[in-house]
């Protein structure tokens, strides 16, 4: 089986991020040929004045998209939308004009929040944005995971069996999606 490199965009910059924790838990559920590469979103704000000579962090982020067979977004919801850091990363990937590296990439979106409503609105906003950039986003099933203390332990094991099975089913479908479109 050929290697599938996945560029993972965790939409939170904080060290104790529950979305990073979810990403790490999903990483434990993928087959050995699937490699997660975590993209650093802590890059300067997009500025069209410097898009032709972009900062090193933004150039690296773009290269990671290019090199990936699949994209995985694991994002919180900030004020009913996606976090600014994630939108910034998407924008860098689209520029300069004619050099959009997102086109045709297979992608999946998941997210978690302490709220029962999960990250539904953020995910929907992200789908709108990615549709305009030509990203092939997996549609169903959707995951709006309500995070509870201990649901994912410090070894990134999912402690609730039903949740583990659900996430395993989702990641299997995602890997299949990437394999077909890569
Ligand atoms: C600026 C800000 C806005 C937020 N807005 C929402 C929201 O709209 N919906 C929601 O479910 N949680 C919201 N939250 C709570 C986050 O879900 C919570 O902080 C979560 O832990 C963020 O994910 P992270 O741990 O991966 O950073 C917000 C948090 C912040 C800091």
Q: What is the pLDDT of residue 4?
A: 97
Please report, to the nearest 10 degrees, the dihedral formed by the alpha carbons of residues 137, 138, 140, 145 taken in order: -80
| pLDDT greater than 80 at residue 1 | no
* Architecture of the domain spanning 4-181: 3-Layer(aba) Sandwich (3.40)
Query: Using the 8-state DSSP alphabet, how is residue 94 labeled?
Result: H
pTM above 0.95, yes or no: yes
Environment class of 51 (CB within 10 Å of its CB; exposed 0-12, middle 13-18, buried 19+): middle
What distance in Å separates the CA atoms of residue 160 and residue 84, rounded to the nearest whole number?
31
CA distances from 42 to 26, 83, 89 (A): 22, 12, 9
Distance 113 CA to ligand 1 centre (A): 6
For ligand 1, whether the C-beta of 148 sits within 6 Å is no
pLDDT for res 19: 98
d(CA 5, CA 99): 21
How many angstroms does the Cα of residue 17 sit away from the middle of ligand 1? 10
Task: Say what the pLDDT of residue 118 is.
Answer: 85
Which atom of ligand 1 is found nearest the CA of 11? 26
Number of separate helices (H) and strands (E) present in the chain: 5, 6
User: What is the rounded average pLDDT of the residues 140-152?
Assistant: 96
CA-CA distance, 170 to 39, in Å (whole number)?
A: 21
Task: Express each pLDDT in 78-89 by its tens digit.
Answer: 999 999 999 999
């Amino acid at each position: 089986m050929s290697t599938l490199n996945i560029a993972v965009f965790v939409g939170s910059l904080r060290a104790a991020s529950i979305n990073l924790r979810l990403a790490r838990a999903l990483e434990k559920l993928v087959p050995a040929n699937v490699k997660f590469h975590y993209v650093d979103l802590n890059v300067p704000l997009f500025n069209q004045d410097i898009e032709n000579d972009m900062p090193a962090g933004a150039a690296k982020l773009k290269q990671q998209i290019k090199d990936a067979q699949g994209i995985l977004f694991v994002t919180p919801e900030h004020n009913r939308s996606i976090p600014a850091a994630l939108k910034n990363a998407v924008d860098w990937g689209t520029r300069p004009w004619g050099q959009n590296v997102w086109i045709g990439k297979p992608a999946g979106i998941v997210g978690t929040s302490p709220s029962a409503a999960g990250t539904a609105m953020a995910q929907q906003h992200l789908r709108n944005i990615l549709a305009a950039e030509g990203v092939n986003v997996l549609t169903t099933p959707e995951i709006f995971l309500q995070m509870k203390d201990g649901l994912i332990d410090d070894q990134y094991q999912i402690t609730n069996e039903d949740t583990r099975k659900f996430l395993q089913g989702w990641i299997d479908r995602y890997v299949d999606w990437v394999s077909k479109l890569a």
